[in-house]
Structure 1
Amino acid sequence: MTDTESPPEPSFPDDLEAVRTALIEWYEDDHRDFPWRRTDDPYAILVSEVMSQQTQLGRVVEAWEAFLERWPTTAELAAADRADVVGFWTDHSLGYNNRAKYLHEAAAQIEAEYGGEFPETPAELQELMGVGPYTANAVASFAFNNGDAVVDTNVKRVLYRAFDVPDDDSVFEDAANDLMPAGRSRVWNNGIMELGGVACGQTPRCDEAGCPWREWCSAYETGDFTAPDVPTQPSFEGSRRQFRGRIISTLKEYNELELDRLGPRIRVDYAPDGEYGREWLEGLLADLADEELVELDRDGESVVARLRR
């Protein structure tokens, strides 16, 4: 396809109402029972969406329940010590700690700028710290039934296989919105994401999961289950993300440490002048300082790191 050519059109069935009804009935009949699917509280849903970014949903449940038990409202989260929120994130292995910082700041925004009431549209929700288009739309959909079609990796895979939607982000979004029944973003987005997670994974389970779209699905008819490439997570073991998490955990325990006392607690082969020495450690700390997660005090050649409060 040249730069001037338009991508090919999806192959939607003539009876879209039957397609929509089949998915909704399949979802409502039986689906994975995650606790955030049993609430329309926008705060609880925002927490689940932020925690679920690149984290397996099964691991999120315990962390989500513990987080809401500790900080059950935006008011209580906004009043919390940010170091405690970041420490919770690290203790529960929830990935990038700046998500915890942004969630804390978003809670403060809701209290200060919105009088404790959540905005309800995707555009308004994007004004919150750390809330991008996908998360804003998910919260609008699941809390207020007021969103557009959610398009994540699972949804793209479903649309590509079932209806030959070409691998083009704008076409995926248009196709997803064309399929979604008006005024039903809550059940529809839950349903199509469930379809991608349960029946139409990288290894499809069409018959086993009772996929409701088999009679219309191009991949099921042809046996060609290729799909757009799925981004892979870089290895966590030995990654900068792993060592950043160790820094947060260590400073949470010791309050503050000078570099050469912090380094050996981060990796056993730390050597001040070695490959993994002060320069390497200062690079990690500089990133965390830029994200306002740690503070660095310099006194000559001595550098002391502490969690920012």
Structure 2
Amino acid sequence: MTAQLHIPVRRRLSAPHRRRGVRRNIIGWMFLAPAIVLIGVFTITPFAQAILLSFQSWDGVSPDTPWVGLANYEFVMSDPVFWASMRNVLFFGVIGFVIGNGLALGLALAVNATTRGTTFFRTVFYLPGVLSVVVVGLLFGFILAPGTGVLNRLLESAGLGALAQNWLGDPAFALISVAAVFVWYHWGFAFLLFLAGLQDVPKELYEAAELDGANRWTKFRYVTWPQLAPVTSIVSLLTLLGALQIFGTVQVLTNGGPGYHTMVPTLAIYNEAFVNWRYGSAAAMSVIFGGALILLSLIQLAIAGRRSRV
């Protein structure tokens, strides 16, 4: 017998089906239209205006905005304050990524292993994230104040007065102190995401691993960690973006001082525009910093996509 070739025939949709599909597309775009308009007005348009302004000189008051070409970018490239802020914000990113996420994952594992008090721990650990950055800055400004600060008084009462420091005024401790405040403020959200991811791991995988004689570390390495890969990618991206965009905490605690040891790009851009009245160079800073954030996000998403395909 001769084999028969079955060639799939593409069926043509009838006119009512085509009209129904077009109608669904129109309805979908109608629902998306308000969001697209808002994104265009409040995101794309300001970013395009910032790019245009970065090639101009403007003091924020004068109606004249003369074209200066790449002069603003040349100024930014040679500005030590801006690049010091970039180094500082990388430090915040590393601390948040390693210590903050490590702390969040460790406590999520501990809470997930308990049978009681999950709701209590989930609420308490997330509580710092509910506070505003101004409240957090004022709170830790009181705790870390030299002499009368709560931390120094506790050290003195414990007989460790030699360890008391000017935590926010000493260049050797200011950046570390602000980074610790950032971790305390942001780690609760990562904790909730990790805990949700752990609760979604199928119990059958752990049971199968136990039948194979796996210990705790083996189960974490071959079961828990691979299952948490999507959550880890999201948490890592949000933590890095949050660290790189830190502003309010630094402004309230140190305002970039002492000197420029705790300066961050967002605060440097703010000072350049609203203190020094150089909007053109501030726009150039924002374009460079925004481009770095976009590049970092694309790299992180590419890594997450490759990991999900493995």
- TM-score w.r.t. length of structure 2: 0.29
Q: Between Structure 1 and Structure 2, which shows a larger proportion of helix residues?
A: 2
Which protein shows a greater Rg? 2
- TM-score w.r.t. length of structure 1: 0.29
Greater relative contact order (Cα 8 A, min sep 6): structure 1 or 2? Answer: 2
Q: Between Structure 1 and Structure 2, which shows a larger proportion of strand residues?
A: 1
